[in-house]
């Protein structure tokens, strides 16, 4: 997947590079109809050299959160008022956190980037193109939670939002939550595939 603002790679180049590098591995795509069970996500691993986000683990091993807590974080994150984006980010996300957007972008997101981003013409146009209701009309379905340790959880779900102009935005989403050293559950990675 290309890194943020990387003009050197597009999706086709990356797929060809992956196919060449993985040619001796027995990897293949399967028709989704042939899969047994209900997959809740996919994992792609690559050597990026340095981690994008460094997280200090809590001093004492915590108990995993309840499903209700993770569910509430997902709901709050996905239904925040767009005018409160900075406050929501401060409350729920690790600084910085990693964001992956549908085959477009992957990178670390810091508060300064958001502050600058919400002042841009493209952000204003997007808000006009997708005018939110207040409160937002969001549906979260098929929420699955997997605890990957006492201080980490992965949530996958289907997101759908209806807008004032009749448009609908639907996506498959993934959050990786981590407990910080203060014992707060925060989003360390967010991915939305539209």
CATH number of 50-193: 3.10.450.50
Contact 151, 179 (CB under 8 A): yes
Element (H, E) at 89: helix 85-92
For 94-138, the DSSP string reads EEEEEEEETTTEEEEE-HHHHHHHTTSHHHHHHHHHSPPPSS-EE
- What pLDDT does residue 168 have? 96
Contact 187, 175 (CB under 8 A): yes
Strand pairing class (168-179; 152-162): antiparallel
Cα 63 to Cα 106: distance, rounded to the nearest angstrom:
31
- Where are the domains positioned within the chain? 50-193
* Token digits of residue 102: 């549908």
Task: Count the Cβ atoms, other than its own, within 10 Å of residue 166.
Answer: 6
Nearest-CA neighbor of 82 among 130, 122, 116, 121?
130
Cα 150 to Cα 40: distance, rounded to the nearest angstrom:
20
Tokens 């209900």 locate to: 38
Residue 193 CA, distance from chain mean position = 9
Percentages of the chain per state (helix, strand, coil), in multiples of 5: 30, 30, 40
Per-residue pLDDT in tens (0 to 9) along the chain, 194 residues: 344 444 444 445 555 655 666 566 555 444 444 444 444 444 444 444 555 555 565 566 556 667 899 999 999 999 999 889 899 988 998 887 777 766 666 778 888 888 998 999 999 999 999 999 999 999 999 999 998 877 889 999 999 999 999 999 999 999 999 888 788 889 988 888 87
């Amino acid at each position: 997947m290309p890194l943020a603002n990387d003009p050197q790679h597009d999706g086709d180049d990356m797929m060809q590079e992956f196919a060449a590098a993985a040619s001796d591995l027995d990897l293949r795509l399967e028709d989704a109809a042939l899969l047994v069970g209900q997959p809740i996500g996919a994992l792609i691993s690559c050597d990026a050299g340095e981690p994008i986000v460094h997280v200090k683990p809590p001093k004492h091993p915590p108990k995993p959160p309840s499903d209700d807590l993770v569910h509430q974080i997902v709901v709050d994150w996905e239904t925040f008022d767009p005018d409160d984006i900075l406050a929501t980010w401060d409350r729920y996300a690790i600084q910085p956190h990693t964001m992956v957007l549908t085959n477009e972008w992957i990178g670390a997101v810091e508060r300064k980037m958001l502050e600058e981003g919400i002042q841009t013409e493209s952000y204003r146009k997007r808000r006009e193109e997708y005018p939110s209701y207040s409160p937002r009309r969001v549906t979260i379905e098929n929420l699955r939670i997997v605890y990957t340790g006492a201080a980490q959880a992965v949530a996958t779900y289907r997101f759908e939002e209806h807008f004032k102009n009749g448009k609908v935005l639907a996506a498959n989403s993934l959050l990786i939550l981590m407990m910080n050293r203060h014992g707060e559950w925060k989003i360390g990675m967010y991915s939305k595939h539209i």
